[in-house]
Each structure stands twice: as structure tokens, then as C-alpha cells.
Structure 1
Amino acid sequence: MPVTISSLIEHAEYCKTIYDSGGNQKDEVAFEVKQEDGISIIVIRGTANDANVLSDVDVRLVSDTRTGIRLHKGFRDAAVTVMQIIDTTKTLEHTVHVTGHSLGGAVAQIIGMWL
């Protein structure tokens, strides 16, 4: 995907929409998947509610079989939730971009390692 100012602005506006609307999942980590032109963009909202704070503070380390490393349990559990929903509702394109902020950034990093 060529990076242009207009595409960056479009993606930034899409991210803002997710943050403003809360996404589809109000009690869990909120996210949306945008798909067009052979590209999937997964946008994951940051900490916004009590359930998200509980994910943030669950700092136990758990073994992750997909990566072979230990991960922050709260972030890993949130990533599992996001991927379970995506796996049952979407077929990701060949090119996938994952982004997020705060909790969403941590979840995006984990999902990026899994893909």
C-alpha cells in the first residue's frame, strides 16, 4: 500500500471513529476491521472502561504457545478475544495492518506476532 498524506489522514480518521464510537465490543477491548483493496486494517481502542483497566493490571506472565514466549496475561487474553471474534466473522486479506493505543497497542503487538 503506498503511503500518501491522504491515506494517512483517512486511516487516522478511521482510528478516531473507533475511539469515539467505542467499536462493537463495549465491555471488552473494542476494535474494528476495515477491509478494502486487498488490505485488512485492525484498529484496537485503548483503555476506556473498568474491564479494560482489569486487563491492564493483570500483569501475570503466561506462556504463549504461538510465540514461545511469556506474555502479559491481561493483554494476551484481550488479544485472544479479538482474534476469536475476527476468526469467526472475517477472512483477513493477504496484507494486514494492526494498530492501537495503550491497551490496544499492546494487543496489536501480540496479534502482529501471531499473524
Structure 2
Amino acid sequence: MNSRVFILLSLLFSSLTFAATDFATIQSYGQLAADTYLPETELEDQLKSQGQTLVHQAVMAESQVSYFLSSTDDMQTIAVRGTANLTNAMVDLDIEFQPDEQLGITLHKGFKTSAAAVYADVKPHLDSSKPITVTGHSLGGAIAVIVAMFLEQEQRTPAQVITFGQPKVTNVTGAGVFDDIPLTRVVTPKDIVPLVPPLSPLQIKDMDIYWHMGEEVILLGEGQYSQTSGVKAMLRATKIMSALPDADNLEAHKMDTYMSRIQTLQTAPVEVPYKMEISLFGLSLN
């Protein structure tokens, strides 16, 4: 059996038990992801107000991707900014799959190139005595996941990776290789960025489709949330991508929208099943 088919079937029929979601932690990392959009002159003071020390901040020359490394007494965090200019948007659009010899998997070409630059820049500033966490919004979330892959390859698996509105970065095989990275992907129902790149008929033929890693936490609003992963997350993308994007989709992707919904989950969050309203081979996925 083709290895991609085997991995896909394993994901199809596997059942994942989710741990209780810690929305206080999600809120703190959401704030760090939001901080990446601040002007450099404001960043250091903002981080201090959160109990963080700015260790290093940089903008990658070629992609204009910005990130910072911050630290507390017992943790260090790499936070990557999302799409903020036309150069960043070109990184988003460079969706060709590209084999990566270092990681041994296939990756989104634009995200991989930017993540490699961020990782090379941040490595000299990392403290070997402290665990690492990684976060980011949108494009920054995609880069954060690949940075986590580089860390794991060097036996420095992050303690936690939390992304917000993150697009896909790899295929089924790549997701399987790095499925032990502790990734939580936070999304809103109408945000279409986590649903791209879309499915391609040629990719389906070869079982070489873009595939999300980790646990997906869907912020439903009004203090409610759902959790999905694997095939259910992929089919959610298929369903929603059939509609044309509108202003609601843009609003749903904003970091302010994420933070507002996370705030409603700080007290007595209610988990509800996510209703797919889709059947696969005659079986309901609800």
C-alpha cells in the first residue's frame, strides 16, 4: 500500500481524545501573537507589562517577516507576525510544495523559506536551559509550526505551539512525521485562512494533499467552543471553501476577533460537538 494512503487511512479511522482546553494559556499566547504587530518602539514596554523580557527582535530582509524572542524566568517564546504587507502576501501565495532535505518532508515553499530564515536568525539567541514555546497569527502561525519542526529535529521539541488563524504548511506525510509536536490551532468558524491552501484534484489523486497537524480549537462565540482534528478539520475546510469570501471572513481572521472570543471563554467555557453536516461513504462525521 502507498505510504501516503496508509497514513491517510490511519488519520481517517483514528480517534483522538482531547485534553481539557486551557483558555488562560491560549489568551496569554494570543496576546504575544498580537504583540508582533506592535511598532518596535512599543514592543518592549508591552512585553514588560506581561511579565516578559524582550530578548531579540528582527525583520527578515527577503520576506519582511517579523518575529521576536521573549523570555520569563522559566520559559522563552518565539512569536511570529502575520501578514502585514505586500511582501508577506507574496509568501502566502507561494503555495507550491517543495521537498525539504533537512526535515525530510514536503512543505509550502513560501512558508518553508521564511521559517528557515527565522530559525537561522533566532538560534544564537536561544537559552539552552529554558523550554521553548512558539506562537503566531496567520502567516506567522504557519512559520511558527515549521520553526517547531526545526526545533524538534534538533531534539528541542517545543513545550507548546499555539497558533491563531494558521494556514496549512505540509501534506499528509509531513503531518504524520511531526504529529508529536504539541500543536494547538485556534480558529474561528468563518476564518477561511486556516482552510487554505485548498484541495487540488491532482493532489487527491496522489494522496498528496495539504493537511493540518495538531488539535483544532474552534471559537464559536458566546462562551462556546468545539475541538476537531485530522479528517474532520479537512472536511470542514472543504465545506466552507465552497462559498465565496466576504467581509465576514476578513473580520473573522483579525487578531482582535480572536482575542474577543477567547475572552468569553475565560470563565465557564462550554464545549459543544462541531456539526459537520457531511457524510463520508454514507457515514455521518458529526
TM-score (normalizing by structure 2): 0.35
**Superposition deviation, residue 47 in structure 1:** 0.5
Matched, 1:63 2:105: no
**Superposition deviation, residue 95 in structure 1:** 1.0
More relative contact order, 1 or 2 (CA 8 Å, 6+ apart): 1
Matched, 1:36 2:72: yes
Query: Take 1:4 and 1:54, find their aligned partners in 2: how far apart are those partners?
Result: 33
Matched, 1:20 2:54: no
Give the AA of the match of 2:126: T
**Superposition deviation, residue 112 in structure 1:** 1.0
**Superposition deviation, residue 8 in structure 1:** 5.8
RMSD: 2.4
- Of Structure 1 and Structure 2, the greater helix share is in 1
Give the unaligned 5+ runs of structure 1: none
Q: What pairs up with 1:1-115 in 2 under 5 angstroms?
A: 5=24, 10-21=28-39, 24-25=58-59, 28-88=64-124, 90-93=125-128, 94-115=130-151
- SS of the residue 1:87 aligns to: helix
Aligned residues: 111
Query: Take 1:26 and 1:20, find their aligned partners in 2: how far apart are those partners?
Result: 16
Q: Deviations over 1:60-113 (max 9, x none)?
A: 21111232111001000110111111124x024441111111100110111111
- SS of the residue 1:20 aligns to: coil
Greater alpha carbon shift after TM alignment, 93-102 vs 19-28? 19-28
Relative to structure 1, is the Cα distance of residues 46 and 72 closer, same or farther in structure 2, using a 3 angstrom cutoff?
same
- SS of the residue 1:19 aligns to: coil
- Taking only the aligned residue pairs, the percentage that are identical comes to 32
Relative to structure 1, is the Cα distance of residues 26 and 111 closer, same or farther in structure 2, using a 3 angstrom cutoff?
closer
Query: Take 1:21 and 1:61, find their aligned partners in 2: how far apart are those partners?
Result: 33
* Runs of 4+ that moved beyond 6 A: none
Greater alpha carbon shift after TM alignment, 29-38 vs 96-105? 29-38
Relative to structure 1, is the Cα distance of residues 19 and 4 closer, same or farther in structure 2, using a 3 angstrom cutoff?
same
Greater alpha carbon shift after TM alignment, 46-55 vs 79-88? 79-88
Query: Take 1:72 and 1:8, find their aligned partners in 2: how far apart are those partners?
Result: 26
Query: Take 2:142 and 2:30, find their aligned partners in 1: how far apart are those partners?
Result: 18
Query: Take 1:70 and 1:11, find their aligned partners in 2: how far apart are those partners?
Result: 28
TM-score (normalizing by structure 1): 0.80
